[in-house]
Amino acid sequence: MKFDDLGLHADLLKGIKDLGFETPTPVQAESIPHILAGRDVIASAQTGTGKTAAFVLPILHRLSTIPRRKLGVRALIVSPTRELTLQSMDHLKKLSRYVHLKGHAIFGGVPMDPQIAMLKQGLDIISATPGRLLDHVYSGRIDFGALEVLVLDEADRMMDMGFLPDIKRILSLLPPKRQNLIFSATIPAEIMTLAKEICHDAVTVRVSPQTTTAAGIRHAVYPVSQPQKTELLLRLLNEHPGMSSVIIFTRTKIKADKVGRSLERAGIKVAIIHGDRSQIQRSRALDSFKYGKTQVLVATDVAARGIDVKDISHVINYDVPSTPEDYIHRAGRTARAETEGDAFSLVAPDEEEMITEIERVINQRLPRVTLPDFTYEKRPASHHRAHSRPHRTRHQSFGGQARHR
């Protein structure tokens, strides 16, 4: 199947071709026809598979082909983080270059005035985080009387982050007759309960098992004591081949800052992103990493989804994530669009139990690796040596798919 086969508006197809894409990803191929037909859709797919474009494209098609009934916002995308909100709007702007629709991202941590100015101009599409969206609504700046489509993006993450009360407040403000689209990496019971409350005769789209990582990811576990993690991390960054673009995940904001400072002292170009950083700091950090100005991005799980950065060579878990699902989401930052990548985990003795649980869920034994000339405080259980790998060239990607050259 090609994008030409989906029935999208000719101006959208022109924009897609200008970006160099021909073939939709599986979640796009399965979801878009149902959305174009006006059906409610509940879609789950792994990170990096093109979920954002799967709902942005049919929304743009609908708003371009169906006459406006009344003034006001016609489509609302609600996301749990600023990064996801910006990603949706970035996709919209790239894909709508030949259609005349206005959209804007609404999120906290930045001044209200620019958002107020855009709302006064009139918008067709809003991509928003729940809290800032409600601030504007309660101040009388947004009227949802014209709303036709609601998207809950990364819905499981919104549940994890405690946004359910805000989501229910938002739902109470929307017209009952609308199209509902729920996109998520996983569909836990809470999401299905919510979906039954708001969706009508929804189509469920599931692409690939929820408990697997991408086939192109090579996993490795590095057993090491907690005090030696930074030392081992520096060895990997300096000596392992192909460490061109690396995301390092920590469990806490304090740890992210601490690891970032240690890497900077060692002369490594690093950016840091977590929830306590201002939006300007987060945007600058992401841009410097995205455009290759920094080799390493140190992040908490706020970056596990929604960071659309091409060619991430390695994901390193400085701290083992607290759930197997978070491991899958973190690892999904690399090996996107059917490329290859590495997911390393620095594992202290008290984290081995979670690694065992991760292995059980993804049904895969993660190889234990030790560096041959690293002086361990406590000898790890495994004695396999690290293997050198040649640097790989990755394809550019957009919306989770490989670019056709």
Structural domain contains residue 18: yes
Predicted pLDDT of residue 337: 63
pLDDT band at 303 (very low <50, low <70, confident <90, very high): low
Q: How confident is the model at residue 388 (pLDDT cuts 50, 70, 90)?
A: very low
pLDDT at 16 over 60: yes
Determine the pLDDT at residue 280.
82
Q: Is the pTM of this model over 0.75?
A: no
Structure tokens at 52: 């954002």
Can you give the residue range of the structural domain that contains 53?
Answer: 3-207
Q: In this predicted model, which residue has the larger pLDDT, 326 or 150?
A: 150
Verify that 172 and 256 share a domain, yes or no.
no
Please give the Cα distance from 275 to 256 (Å, whole number). Answer: 11
67 Cβ partners below 8 Å, 6+ apart? none
Q: Which residue has the higher pLDDT, 381 or 15?
A: 15
Whether 229 and 154 map to the same domain: the answer is no
> Domain check: are 260 and 120 in the same one?
no
Rounded distance, CA 269 to CA 246, Å?
11
Residue 384 has pLDDT above 50, yes or no: no
Residues 288 and 331 in one domain: yes
CA distance 358 to 374: 26
Angle between helices 130-138 and 164-172 (to 10 degrees): 40
Task: Using the predicted structure, report yes or no on whether residue 201 has a pLDDT greater than 70.
Answer: yes
Same domain for 222 and 202: no
Average pLDDT, the chain: 87
Are 130 and 258 in a shared domain? no
Residue 27 — very low, low, confident or very high, per pLDDT cuts 50/70/90?
A: very high
Q: Which of 207, 237, 252 is at the close of a domain?
A: 207
Mean pLDDT of 216-220: 91
Domain count, the chain: 2
| Cα dihedral: 168, 174, 179, 185 (round 10) | -30
pLDDT for res 215: 75
Question: Quick one: 240 and 190 in the same domain?
Answer: no
- Tokens for 177? 């007759």
Rounded Cα distance, 344 and 342, in Å = 6
**What is the structure's pLDDT at 332?**
81
pLDDT for res 383? 43
Does any domain span residue 212? no
Which of 163, 233, 216 minimizes the C-alpha distance to 194? Answer: 163
If asked whether residues 40 and 110 sit together in one domain, one would say yes
How far is Cα 12 from Cα 64, in angstroms, rounded to an integer? 9
Give mean pLDDT, residues 257-274.
95
β partners of residue 106: 128
Would you say residue 381 lies in a domain?
yes
Beta bridge partners of 126: 76, 104
The answer on pLDDT for 366 being more than 90 is yes
CATH at residue 296: 3.40.50.300
Mean pLDDT confidence for 39-58: 89
Residue 397 three-state SS:
strand
What is d(CA 141, CA 122) in angstroms, rounded to the nearest whole number?
A: 10
